[in-house]
């Protein structure tokens, strides 16, 4: 049985106003009055309660960091070949017997003959046509239209739990396949100093997982430098002032170290190998105000020393520049006081050795380098600016604007005369291409969140390494337009440097002239009587004036008479 | 046997040829005109490479077969002729080519 209810309404009734509702007064149906008697028995007072009500959606943050795995490649090489198990491959007569047996094999003779024909064909082919011949030699691709770019290839991290600052980087001089990284804590009396390791490392650039060699200095290394002539040797300067050298063939321990009483008294901030008759000489500088020369074959005491005194102030050296192109005995020291000292090792006295003093920076001159193409000109960084100098002028020929962050390191590109790199405290790396523009960097890269303490370029000019304060070394690859010299670049860079040099020289001459004039004026003002005419002088001038007039009148009279 | 000797001699007599060696499928050098050290190194490394290359060619196309291998480097060209049982390896200098 189906329950059906049919509701029927005619179409015309739809939507009609209803007539069934009417107004009527309010009517009380029932009433419950409060009953005080129940209040005490059935109700209980509740303790005051705090209730928080949050109107916005609640959120929380979670971090998940997957465990990082380091990989190592392991290989195995069987050089001896798969000999049958009853033959000892090291036994000459057994192997010879085996070979003889093979050589008698018919199959062997047939196969070798067939193979020989094929190989011979290819040898002849190789000798007939050089299929690898390079056409159009001498043509150069123009990379100038490419947008400048750089990419990070790999990151080398300080393997120790306490992450130390990358204080210096040095590429292996033979192709740059290895990089030596010095780790130290540069903060004075850093609280982590005791717990941190002293080790520095050498990495192969293609294996960031595992350092190739650990270097164990007596104290943390502040600088570490490959010897360009003998690539097995490295010289390093320690935080406690010692100089040590390593031979990578002899392992992690220093071959020899200097004696503490004959060394620097402050951290060794910079060390350079000298280009002399031998490959064993180096020079170092430190904030104790000394430059010391060493022969690593006898590190007992320095071969020479120089106190960095200018005027009566002792300067602390923080950077050292030496290049054979600039002169074999010349070197420059960047000081904590912001000045740059041009020194000559061959000077007779200490005064003689320190030549020109270039001042310009407000803070320590952390980096100093001659342009590899124009050794007369050099780059320095300090405070928030970089400056370009000429050896012959005491004022910089080009000065940058103040950057937002402090500059920590800089170096020139070895392949392009107009390109240099500078690293800053805010973790950015600036790439400057002076050929393109001088007022701002061509490319700025945010490499790390921490400051970048060191920057170095491989000799090919393509691979760049920069090390941060928190112990990471970034290996970066630059695009071709930043690494390959552009046509006309060298000439135009030369022109620009010469032009700026002339301009600055003229300005200096003008400034000198003005200074001379001002000095004269001020001298005159200081002695007011010098300009105050005396009575006799006045009379003499007056007399002279009347004499001239009288003479003139006389002449006029004579002329009139003649007419 | 004399034939083999003669073929090797013939190959070695070509311009720019530094040496030739015959290696069996197990990587054992049978005959060689190179020094012992070089022979071992070439035999060990090239046998492995050939095995890999042979496999690769077949994997790409199962009806195909590796017939020859040229390895070009800055200094040399290594010519490798593989067969079922033996390899003939010839090292040719890359520089002397076309110099004459």
pLDDT in tens, A203-236: 888 888 888 888 888 888 888 888 888 888 888 8
In the beta sheet, which residues pair with residue B78?
B71, B91
| CB of A286 closer than 8 Å to CB of A319 | no
> The CATH number of the domain where B61 resides is what?
3.30.450.30
Residue B100 pLDDT level (bands cut at 50, 70, 90)? very low
pLDDT band at A2 (very low <50, low <70, confident <90, very high): confident
Is residue A453 within 8 A of residue A423, CB to CB? The reply is yes
Contact residues for A247 (Cβ-Cβ < 8 A; gap 6+): A232, A233, A255
A147 in Cβ contact with A436 (< 8 Å): no
A37-72 in b/e burial notation, b at 16+ Cβ within 10 A? eeeeeeeeeeeeeeeeeeeeeeeeeeeeeeeeeeee
Helix (H) or strand (E) holding A115: helix A106-128
Residue B9's closest chain A neighbor by CA?
A: A116
Instruction: Return the residue in B22, B66, B91 with the most chain A beta carbons within 10 A, the one to mutate for interface testing.
Output: B22
Distance from CA of B26 to the nearest CA of A (A): 5
Measured between its terminal Cα atoms, the distance across chain B in Å is 34
Its domain, for residue B43, covers 2-99
Q: What is the CB neighbour count within 10 angstroms for residue A31?
A: 5
Per-residue pLDDT, A528: 59
State which residue of chain A sits closest to B70, comparing Cα positions. A122
> How many domains does one find in chain B?
1
The region of weakest confidence among A326-330, A383-387, A499-503, A509-513 is A326-330
- Whether residue B40 contacts residue B48, with contact meaning beta carbons closer than 8 Å, is answered with no
β-strand A367-370 against A256-257: which pairing, if any? unpaired
Q: How far is CA A552 from CA A277, A427, A541, in A?
A: 83, 84, 17
Q: Between B2-12 and A106-128, two packed helices, what is the crossing angle to 10 degrees?
A: 10
Whether residue B61 is predicted with pLDDT greater than 50 in this model: the reply is yes
**From the CA of B84, how many Å to the nearest CA of chain A?**
9
At B99 the pLDDT is 47
Three-state DSSP at A446 gives: strand
Q: Locate A27 and state its tokens.
A: 């009517």
Cβ-based neighbour number of residue A226 at 10 Å:
23
Residues of A within an 8 Å Cβ radius of B: 77-83, 98-99, 102-104, 107-109, 111-116, 118-120, 122-124, 126-127, 129-130, 132-133
Q: What is the residue-averaged pLDDT of chain A?
A: 84
Measured CA to CA in angstroms, residue A232 lies from A174, A249, A394, B53, B85 at distances of 10, 7, 39, 38, 45
What dihedral do alpha carbons B20, B22, B28, B32 form, nearest 10°? -40
Is residue A144 predicted with pLDDT exceeding 80?
no
Nearest to A112 among B45, B72, B86 (CB): B86
Residues of B in contact with A108 (CB under 8 A): 4, 30, 85-86
pLDDT higher than threshold 80 for residue A110: yes
How close B36 comes to chain A (CA, Å)?
11
B30, closest residue in chain A (CA to CA)? A99
Contacts of A127 in chain B (CB under 8 A): 14-16, 97-98
Q: Name the band, by pLDDT with cuts 50, 70 and 90, for residue A531.
A: low
Instruction: Name the residue with higher pLDDT: A558 or A196.
Output: A558
Question: Is the CB of B85 less than 8 angstroms away from the CB of A108?
Answer: yes
Residue A19 pLDDT > 90, yes or no? no
**DSSP-based helix, strand, coil % in chain A, nearest 5:** 25, 30, 50
CB-nearest partner of A112 from B17, B22, B98: B22
Q: What pLDDT band is residue A534 in, cutting at 50, 70 and 90?
A: confident
Residues in A touching B72 (Cβ below 8 Å) = 132
Instruction: Count other Cβ atoms within 10 Å, centred on residue A183.
Output: 29
Share of chain A above pLDDT 90, in %: 3
Min distance A214 CA to chain B CA atoms (Å) = 30
Give yes or no for a contact between A463 and A153, defined as CB atoms under 8 angstroms apart: yes
Which among B22, B30, B72 has CB closest to A132? B72
Partner residue facing A123 (CB), from B23, B40, B92: B92
Nearest CB to A113 within list B7, B47, B98? B7
Which residues in chain A have their CB less than 8 angstroms from residue B43's CB?
Answer: 79, 81
Neighbours of A494 (CB within 10 A): 14
Convert A480-545 into a string of H (helix), E (strand) and C (coil). HHHHCCCCCHHHHHHHHHHHHHHHHHHHHHHHHHHHHHHHHHHHHHHCHHHCCCCHHHHHHHHHHH
* CB atoms closer than 10 angstroms to residue A141: 8
Looking at residue B81, its pLDDT comes to 92
CB contact under 8 A, B28 and A83: yes
Q: B80 - beta bridge partners?
A: B69, B89
Give Cα A477 distance to the centre of its chain.
14
A119 CB neighbours in chain B (<8 A) are: 11, 20, 79, 81, 88, 90
A111/B84 CB distance under 8 A:
yes
Which residues on chain B are in Cβ contact (under 8 Å) with A112? 4, 7, 22, 86, 88
C-alpha distances in angstroms, A435 versus A373, A432, A489? Answer: 14, 9, 7
B11 and A133 within 8 Å at the Cβ level: the answer is no
- Please report the DSSP string for A53-104 in residue order: ---SPP-------PPP-----------S----TTS-TT-HHHHHHHHHHHHH
Structure tokens at B5: 């000797």
Of the residues A100, A120, A124, A131, the best mutation for testing chain B's interface (the one with the most B CB atoms within 10 Å of its CB) is A120
DSSP structural state of residue B13: T
In the predicted structure, residue A50 carries a pLDDT above the cut 70: yes
Please tell me which residue of chain A has the smallest CA distance to B96.
A127
Q: Of A165, A168, A194, give the one whose Cα is nearest residue A179.
A: A168
**Using CA atoms, how far apart are residues B93 and A469, in angstroms rounded to an integer?**
49
As for the ipTM of the complex, it is 0.77
Q: What's the gap in Å between the CA of B63 and the closest CA on chain A? A: 21
Model confidence over A382-404: pLDDT tens digits? Answer: 888 888 888 888 888 888 888 88
Q: In chain A, what residues touch B24 (CB-CB under 8 Å)? A: 102
Q: Do A120 and B11 touch (CB under 8 A)?
A: yes
- pLDDT at res. A114: 86
User: CA A284 to CA A317: how far, in whole Å?
Assistant: 9
SS3 A402: coil
The residue-averaged pLDDT of B70-95 equals: 88
**Three-state secondary structure call for residue A222:** strand
Who among B16, B83, B97 is closest to A115 (CB)? B83
Q: Is the dihedral of CA A522, A528, A529, A531 positive or negative?
A: positive
Q: What is the per-residue pLDDT across A343-361, written as a single tens digit (0 to 9) for each?
A: 888 877 767 777 788 888 8
Q: What is the DSSP letter of A238?
A: E
3-state secondary structure of A141: coil
Give me the residue from A81, A116, A119 closest to B43, CB to CB. A81
**Residues of chain B with C-beta less than 8 angstroms from the C-beta of A129:** 98
CB contact under 8 A, A118 and B15: no
Chain-chain contact of B7 with A116 (C-beta, under 8 angstroms): yes
Tens-place pLDDT, residues A322-332? 887 777 888 88
Cβ–Cβ contacts within 10 Å for residue A461, how many? 19
Task: Please give the pLDDT value at position A92.
Answer: 84
**Cβ neighbours of A394 (radius 10 Å):** 15
Phi, psi of A103 (to 5 degrees): -65, -25
Residue for token digits 């941060």?
A468
Cα dihedral A18, A20, A23, A26 sign: negative
Is A108 within 8 Å of B83 when comparing Cβ atoms? Answer: no
Asked if residues B7 and A113 have their Cβ atoms less than 8 Å apart, the reply is: yes
CB contact at 8 A, A453 and A166 = yes
Number of A–B residue contacts, CB under 8 Å: 106
Using DSSP's 3-state secondary structure scheme, residue A559 falls into helix
Q: What pLDDT digit, counting tens, does each position of A60-88 carry?
A: 889 888 887 877 778 877 777 778 888 88
User: DSSP secondary structure string, A340-352?
Assistant: EEEEETT-SSHHH
Model confidence at A547, in pLDDT bands (50, 70, 90)? very high
Residue with tokens 């003649």, as numbered in its chain: A562
CB A464 within 8 A of CB A478: yes
Express each pLDDT in A410-447 by its tens digit: 999 888 888 889 998 888 988 888 888 888 888 888 88
- By C-alpha distance, the chain B residue nearest A125 is B97
pLDDT of the residue at A161: 83
Min Cα distance B56 → chain A (Å) is: 20
Q: Please tell me which residue of chain B has the smallest CA distance to A96.
A: B30
Please give the Cα distance from A370 to A372 (Å, whole number): 6
Q: Within 10 Å of residue B82's Cβ, how many Cβ atoms? A: 24
Average pLDDT over residues A513-536: 77
CB within 8 Å: A79 and B23? no
């Amino acid at each position: 049985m189906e329950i059906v209810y049919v509701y029927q309404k005619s179409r015309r009734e739809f939507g009609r106003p209803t007539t069934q509702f009417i107004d009527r007064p309010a009517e009380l149906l029932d009433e419950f009055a409060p009953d005080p008697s129940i209040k005490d028995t059935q109700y209980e007072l509740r303790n005051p309660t705090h209730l928080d009500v949050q109107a916005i959606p609640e959120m929380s943050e979670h971090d998940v960091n997957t465990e990082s795995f380091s990989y190592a490649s392991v290989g195995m090489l069987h050089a001896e070949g798969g000999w049958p198990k009853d033959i000892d491959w090291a036994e000459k007569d057994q192997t010879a017997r085996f070979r003889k047996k093979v050589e008698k094999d018919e199959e062997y003779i047939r196969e070798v003959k067939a193979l020989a024909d094929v190989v011979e064909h290819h040898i002849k082919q190789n000798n007939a046509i050089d299929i690898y011949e390079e056409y159009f030699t001498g043509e150069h691709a123009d990379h100038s239209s490419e947008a400048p770019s750089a990419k990070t290839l790999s990151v080398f991290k300080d393997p120790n739990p306490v992450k130390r600052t990358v204080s210096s980087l040095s590429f292996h001089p033979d192709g740059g396949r290895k990089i030596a990284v010095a780790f130290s804590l540069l903060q004075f009396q850093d609280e982590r100093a005791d717990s941190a390791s002293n080790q520095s490392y050498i990495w192969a650039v293609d294996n960031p997982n595992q350092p190739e060699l650990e270097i164990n200095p007596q104290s943390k290394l502040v600088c570490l430098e490959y010897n360009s002539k003998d690539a097995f040797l490295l010289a390093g300067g320690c935080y406690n002032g010692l100089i040590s050298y390593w031979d990578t063939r002899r392992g992690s321990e220093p071959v020899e170290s200097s004696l503490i009483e004959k060394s620097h008294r402050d951290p060794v901030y910079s060390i350079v190998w000298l280009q002399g008759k031998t490959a064993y000489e180096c020079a170092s500088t430190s904030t104790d105000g000394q430059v010391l020369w060493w022969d690593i074959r006898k590190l007992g005491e320095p071969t020479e020393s120089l106190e960095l005194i200018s005027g009566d102030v002792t300067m602390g050296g923080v950077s050292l520049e030496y290049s054979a192109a600039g002169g074999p005995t010349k070197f420059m020291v960047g000081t904590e006081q912001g000045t740059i000292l041009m020194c000559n090792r061959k000077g007779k006295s200490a005064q003689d050795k320190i030549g020109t003093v270039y001042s310009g920076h407000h803070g320590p001159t952390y980096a100093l380098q001659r342009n590899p193409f124009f050794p007369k000109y050099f780059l320095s960084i300090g405070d928030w600016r970089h400056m370009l100098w000429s050896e012959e002028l005491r004022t910089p020929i080009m000065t940058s604007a103040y950057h937002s962050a402090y500059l920590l390191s800089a170096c020139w590109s070895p392949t392009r005369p107009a390109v240099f790199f500078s690293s800053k405290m805010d973790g950015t790396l600036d790439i400057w291409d002076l050929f393109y523009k001088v007022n701002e960097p061509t490319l700025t890269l945010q490499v790390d969140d921490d400051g970048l303490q060191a920057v170095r370029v491989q000799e090919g000019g393509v691979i760049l390494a920069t090390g941060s304060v928190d112990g990471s070394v970034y290996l970066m690859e630059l695009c071709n337009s930043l690494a390959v010299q552009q046509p006309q670049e060298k000439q135009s860079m030369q022109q620009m440097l010469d032009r700026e040099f002339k301009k600055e020289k003229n300005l200096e001459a003008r400034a000198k002239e003005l200074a001379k004039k001002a000095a004269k004026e001020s001298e005159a003002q200081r002695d007011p009587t010098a300009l105050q005419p005396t009575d006799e002088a006045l009379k003499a001038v007056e007399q002279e004036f009347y004499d001239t007039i009288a003479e003139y009148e006389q002449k006029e009279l004579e002329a009139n008479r003649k007419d | 046997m004399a034939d083999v000797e003669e073929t090797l001699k013939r190959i070695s007599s070509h311009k720019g040829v530094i040496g030739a060696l015959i290696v069996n499928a197990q990587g054992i050098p049978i005959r060689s005109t190179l020094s012992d050290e070089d022979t071992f190194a070439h035999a060990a490394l090239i046998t492995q490479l050939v095995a890999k290359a042979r496999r690769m060619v077949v994997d790409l196309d199962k009806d195909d077969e590796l017939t020859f291998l040229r390895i070009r480097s800055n200094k040399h060209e290594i010519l490798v002729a593989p067969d079922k049982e033996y390899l003939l390896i010839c090292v040719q200098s890359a520089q002397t080519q076309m110099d004459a």
